[in-house]
Amino acid sequence: MASKGRATMGVTLAVITALAAVSSARPRPPKEPSAALTREAAIQVLETTDTFAGVSIGYGGERSKESCAFAVVSRERDAAEIFRSLLGKASMAGQLYALCGLYSTDPDGFKEAVEPYRRSTDEVKTMFGCIGGRQKASGLVENTSPNTGLRTVRLLSPKETLEGWIKRDNGGKRSFMLDIYGGGYPTEFRGQDRCR
Determine the 3-state secondary structure of 128 from DSSP.
strand
How many domains does the chain contain in total? 1
Does a structural domain hold residue 66?
A: yes
Where on the phi/psi map is residue 58: left (φ > 0), alpha (ψ -120 to 50), or beta?
Answer: left
Q: pLDDT value at position 196?
A: 59
Cα angle 8, 13, 19 (rounded to 5 degrees) comes to 125
Does a structural domain hold residue 63?
A: yes
Does a structural domain hold residue 163?
A: no
Q: How far is CA 152 from CA 134, 187, 192, in A?
A: 20, 13, 21
Does a structural domain hold residue 50?
A: yes
Does a structural domain hold residue 164?
A: no
**pTM of the predicted model as reported, rounded to 2 decimal places:** 0.79
Q: Which domain holds residue 88?
A: 39-137+185-190
Does a structural domain hold residue 196?
A: no
What pLDDT tens digit does each residue of the chain (196 aa) get? 554 444 433 333 333 333 333 333 333 333 333 467 899 999 999 999 999 998 989 888 888 999 999 999 999 999 999 999 999 999 999 999 999 999 999 999 999 999 999 999 999 999 998 899 999 999 999 998 876 778 899 999 999 988 889 888 877 777 889 999 999 999 999 877 767 5
Does a structural domain hold residue 101?
A: yes
Does a structural domain hold residue 94?
A: yes
